[in-house]
Chains A and B, each alone.
Chain A
Amino acid sequence: MAASATTNYDLTRKSFLSSLYSFRAVLPGLLAMLYIAVFSNNLPGVPNPFTLENLFYWLDGVIGPLNHQPFFQILNSNFVWNPLLLGFIIGNLLGVPDCWKRGLSTIHVLMPLGILMLAPHFIVGHAFKLGFRPIALCAGFMFLTATATLLLARLFKVDDRHASIIAGGLSTGDPHAGIILMPLIKAKGGQVLNASIGVIGFGIIAMLLLPWMAGFLDLPQKYLGLASVIGVGNGHQALYAAYESGYEAGRYALWFDIGRHVIMPAGFLYIFIAMFIRKLRRPDDPDVQATRGIDKFPLWLGVFIFAWILACLHLFREPAQHAVFNMVKWDFSLAAAALGLSLSFRDIAAVGVRGFVLTIATGVLRIVLLLAAIIVCIKAGLLPI
């Protein structure tokens, strides 16, 4: 069915703008995405108080803080998950009318658009205050986690597209990265959501496990904060783990987190390039599905790298950098609404639990290696107390 639709497109195509279809065809879908986005997030420029985001803030106020962290922030509620959840509920309860579908297909325009606009957000210079060694630890464990996930995926017989999304989320410490990898890896929506739920689920395990394991070691509060950032990640889950170890560790986790944050693009670029080269080397292998359909390095990804270099040179200054990020919030809110509408419970469940087992195995391995590395660095005088 999809193949015939593509063939029809090739027959009617006049220029690249043909992929935007006609305004009349896309309007219902765009409006559906707009309403879901506007009722999910407090979007810049929209004074709507009746949002899922505000409902979660209110519930956080009722539940109270958990190690200084709001409960829904521990669950990684943000401008991507809120519309995704609302779209998922609407799609599964009420269905998706046919007239929306042309408009919803603009998700494929919004994804490269949003990823490109993310480039000014990652200014590497912001992490220089940490010094070379903590940044090297963040970068080293990011690449190590990504590599270990992709290698262990063979052992656990996890589909390479699913494993790539897990590698993205786990190594960067941000389940967003999985969604960023979706168009690059050509992963299915069910694989993306299954992997992201697994990464967030393991984050909850990790935020309890890491302080417990670190309790057996005599680590300074400062490096308990660093260990939480690298070993747990996922924003408030790392903060939960750090505050569990002590107030000072929590404050240091906030301070160290920029080291994990600014190198995130290198993480998802590494996974894409590794899987792309693997596909080029094994063009006829049926087990190699990741990046299948991408015949050459995407031009827009090259533009992303160029824009990231410009960002590192501080070309995008504040407030322009924040204005661009506000556009990212709009973009991903709309795209996540369309993704949520496309998924059923069956799509997510059909992917199975192997990915979650892989996430746990790699995640626990990372925590063990990380704690060992930090102890060695302290003993060797590489991390000053």
Chain B
Amino acid sequence: MGGKSQRVDDQGFDYMANSGREAKDRDMCGMLLAIIIMAFLTLSQYLGWY
């Protein structure tokens, strides 16, 4: 058990591979989520919600 079989499914999808357009899209999703979470937590403190 181990090695490539842990990462690649029977359709050839390697979950640790991250390149090209897909990598850029994942970065964009992560960045937007981070901005939303940080802005929400910070603004809600400034607004006195906690």
Residues in chain A within 8 A of chain B (CB atoms) = 1-2, 4-6, 9-10, 13, 16-20, 29, 91-96, 98, 101-102, 104-105, 107-114, 116-117, 119-120, 183, 189, 293, 298-300, 303, 307, 315-317, 319-320, 323-324, 327, 338, 341-347
Contact = CB atoms under 8 A, between A and B. Distances in A.
B21 A13 contact: yes
Given A303-B35, A315-B42, A102 B27 contact: no
Contact of A20 (B10, B16, B29, B31): B29
B14 to A, nearest CB: 4
B45 to A, nearest CB: 4
Nearest to A16: B25
A95 B6 contact: yes
Nearest to B33: A113
Interface of B: 1-3, 5-31, 33-35, 37-38, 41-42, 44-45, 50
Contacts of A116: 30-31, 34-35, 38
A320 B19 contact: no
Contacts of B17: 2, 5-6
Contacts of A95: 1-2, 5-6
Given A10-B22, A98-B9, A299-B28, 8 more contacts: A9-B21, A13-B21, A16-B24, A16-B29, A93-B1, A95-B5, A320-B45, A324-B38
A119 B33 CA distance: 14
A298 B50 CA distance: 34
A320 B5 contact: no
27 contacts: A1-B8, A1-B12, A2-B17, A5-B17, A6-B20, A9-B20, A10-B20, A16-B28, A16-B29, A19-B22, A20-B29, A92-B2, A98-B10, A101-B13, A108-B18, A108-B23, A109-B26, A117-B37, A298-B27, A316-B38, A319-B45, A320-B41, A320-B44, A324-B38, A341-B6, A342-B7, A346-B2
